[in-house]
Structure 1
Amino acid sequence: MNFNISPLKELSFENLAKGTHCVTQTEFHSLLASDDAIFLDVRTDEEQEYSVYPWAKHIPLHALPERIGELPDHKLIIPFCSSVFRASMVWFYLKSKGFTQVRTLTLSTEQIATLIKPTPLFNQR
C-alpha cells in the first residue's frame, strides 16, 4: 500500500502552535459567507438527520474515498464533525490526496449551533 505521509511534515510544533491548519470561531462567520470556502460535514447520515447544516456539503467520512471528486480543488475545504476527530482525519486524507487548501474547523456541531443563532449572527453584521 502506497500512502502519502507528507502532510505529517505540516504538523511540526511551530505549525501546531500557530494553528494554521485550523479555522477558529472568530473566522467562522466570514468563511461561511465566502464563496472561496466550502464547509464539509463528515458526520454519518444518521447524525445529519438530527441537525442539518444547509450551508455545508455532506459527505460522510466512510464515503469520502468514493466521493472525493465532488470536492473542488480551488477552494478552501473546511471539514467538521460532532467532535473534531473525524474532521482531523479528513484533513490528513485530503492533504495526502493533494488538496492544498484544507483547514479543520475546531468547533463541534454543538458549538456551531450556538454560533448560528440570531444574536451571534446579528452581531457579526
Structure 2
Amino acid sequence: MEVSSIHPQKFVEFLDQQALQDSVIIDVREPHEWDFYHLEEAKLIPMQQIPHRIGELPEDQDIYLVCAHGVRSHRVAEYLQVNGIERVINVDGGMAAIAMLRGFQYD
C-alpha cells in the first residue's frame, strides 16, 4: 500500500485556512526537536512511542504525520497502514519545509 503525501505548501495553506480541524496532526519527532519549534495544532508522539500509543490514534479521521524532513513520518505512515490505520498522510519535507514557508527564523 502506498503512503499518501501532501506538499508542504498545500499543508500550510490548509493550516492557514483552518481546513484541518476535523483531522489530527501528529509530530513524530523527539521532545527536544518539539521544544525548538512545533505546530500548535499538532500532538507529539515520538516515533519510538507509536507502537505503544497506537490506540490513541483515530481510525475515522485523517492523520497528518510530520517530522523534521518527512523521512521518519513516512516510516510511521507505513507502520500505521500495516497495522490497520489507513487514513494517514505524510507531510513532505516536514517541519523544515513548513518553517521555510512560514518564514520561521532559527536563532
3-state SS of paired residue (2:35): helix
The one-letter code of the counterpart of 1:21 is S
1:108 positional shift? 2.5
Q: Which moved more, 1:24-33 or 1:69-78?
A: 24-33
Higher relative contact order (CA 8 A, sep 6+): 2
- Counterpart contact for 2:62–2:89, Cα < 8 Å: yes
- Counterpart contact for 2:64–2:88, Cα < 8 Å: yes
Query: How has the CA–CA distance of structure 1 residues 57 and 22 changed in structure 2, closer, same or farther, with 3 Å as cutoff?
Result: same
1:89 positional shift? 0.7
Q: Which runs of 5+ in 1 are unaligned?
A: 1-9, 12-19, 119-125
CA distance in 2, matches of 1:27, 1:101: 17
1:112 positional shift? 0.7
Q: How many residues align?
A: 101
CA distance in 1, matches of 2:46, 2:5: 20
| Residue equivalent to 1:27 | 10
Is 2:55 aligned against 1:69? yes
- Counterpart contact for 2:38–2:95, Cα < 8 Å: no
| TM-score scaled by length of structure 1 | 0.71
| Residue equivalent to 1:116 | 102
CA distance in 1, matches of 2:95, 2:9: 16
3-state SS of paired residue (1:103): strand
Identity %: 29
Runs of 4+ in structure 1 deviating by more than 6 angstroms, as ranges, are: none
Is 2:28 aligned against 1:45? no
Aligned Cα root-mean-square deviation (Å): 1.9
Q: Could you say which structure has the larger radius of gyration?
A: 1
- Counterpart contact for 2:65–2:90, Cα < 8 Å: yes
CA distance in 1, matches of 2:93, 2:61: 20
Q: Which runs of 5+ in 2 are unaligned?
A: none
> Which structure's residues are more often helix, by fraction?
1
